[in-house]
């Protein structure tokens, strides 16, 4: 079963739902590395500082954070070298999103309950 599109989890509707002893079975986030480039560089070594922010209150999945990190890292390495920059991803995916799996095959009406007991199982993590 594939992933649902981002429009299903983009908007902030619920309270923060972090991984805890009550919310178990959460898959690990896809993004693992948050610091890139020359990590030991001091503040004075680079002439500019660039921040990428979003003006909208949305949720970004850990897969999207990882994809944007890889893309930005490739661009920076190609243009200014491996040690010519330091990049940090500041958002961490803590909020657990759930999925109420539905079957769409023949005879599925005998196996599933529809919206009865529709709480859902943990599917992934998003950053707010």
Residue 17 within any structural domain of the chain = yes
Q: What CATH number is associated with residue 88?
A: 3.90.1170.10
Residue 45 within any structural domain of the chain = yes
Do the beta carbons of residue 39 and residue 89 sit within 8 Å? Answer: no
Q: What is the pLDDT of residue 20?
A: 93
The DSSP secondary structure of 34-83, one letter per residue, reads -EEE-TT--GGGSS-------SS-B-EEHHHHHHHHHHHHHHHHHHH-TT
Q: What is the pLDDT of residue 52?
A: 87
Assessment of whether the complete model's pTM goes beyond 0.75? yes
Residue 97 within any structural domain of the chain = yes
Do the beta carbons of residue 98 and residue 23 sit within 8 Å? Answer: no
Confidence check: pLDDT of 61 > 80: yes
Domain count, the chain: 1
Residue 123 within any structural domain of the chain = yes
Range of the domain at 13: 6-127
């Amino acid at each position: 079963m594939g992933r649902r599109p981002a429009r299903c989890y983009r908007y902030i509707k619920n309270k923060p739902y972090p991984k805890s002893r009550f919310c178990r079975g959460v898959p690990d986030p896809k993004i693992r590395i948050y610091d890139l480039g020359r990590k030991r560089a001091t503040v004075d070594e680079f002439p500019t500082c660039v921040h990428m922010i979003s003006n909208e209150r949305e949720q970004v999945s850990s897969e999207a954070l990882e994809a944007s990190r890889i893309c930005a890292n490739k661009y920076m390495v190609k243009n200014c070298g491996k040690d010519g920059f330091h990049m940090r991803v500041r958002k961490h995916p803590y909020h657990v999103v759930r999925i109420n799996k539905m079957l769409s095959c023949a005879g599925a009406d005998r196996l599933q309950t529809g919206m009865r007991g529709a709480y859902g199982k943990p599917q992934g993590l998003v950053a707010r």
